[in-house]
């Protein structure tokens, strides 16, 4: 069972995914969430090492903001 924070973060992450290119999100998901090695991401998606790291940084910033917003939402009194 997922924690309330995990549910909110997942929902926000899906909504925020629309703010980035689908390929960028796919690179981020494979490298950060699935924890694939950079070489596997590069080979699978046909991208450079730099593109993987750029996706991690760009999408990671959005993901971190979604996480922080979800935490604030959970900490608000009802």
Calculate what percentage of the chain has a pLDDT beyond 70: 76
Cα gap 51→69, rounded to integer Å: 27
**Does residue 45 have a pLDDT over 90?**
yes
In this prediction, residue 73 carries a pLDDT of: 80
Cα gap 19→1, rounded to integer Å: 28
In this prediction, residue 49 carries a pLDDT of: 98
Q: What is the dihedral of CA 63, 15, 35, 39, to 10 degrees?
A: -100
Residues contacting residue 16 through CB under 8 Å, at least 6 positions apart: 62, 63, 65, 66
């Amino acid at each position: 069972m997922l924690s309330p924070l995990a549910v909110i973060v997942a929902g926000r992450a899906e909504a925020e995914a629309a703010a980035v290119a689908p390929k960028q999100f796919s690179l981020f998901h494979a490298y950060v969430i699935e924890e694939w090695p950079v070489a596997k991401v590069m080979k699978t998606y046909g991208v450079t090492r730099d593109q993987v790291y750029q996706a991690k940084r760009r999408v990671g910033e959005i993901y971190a903001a979604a996480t922080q917003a979800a935490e604030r939402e959970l900490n608000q009194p009802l």
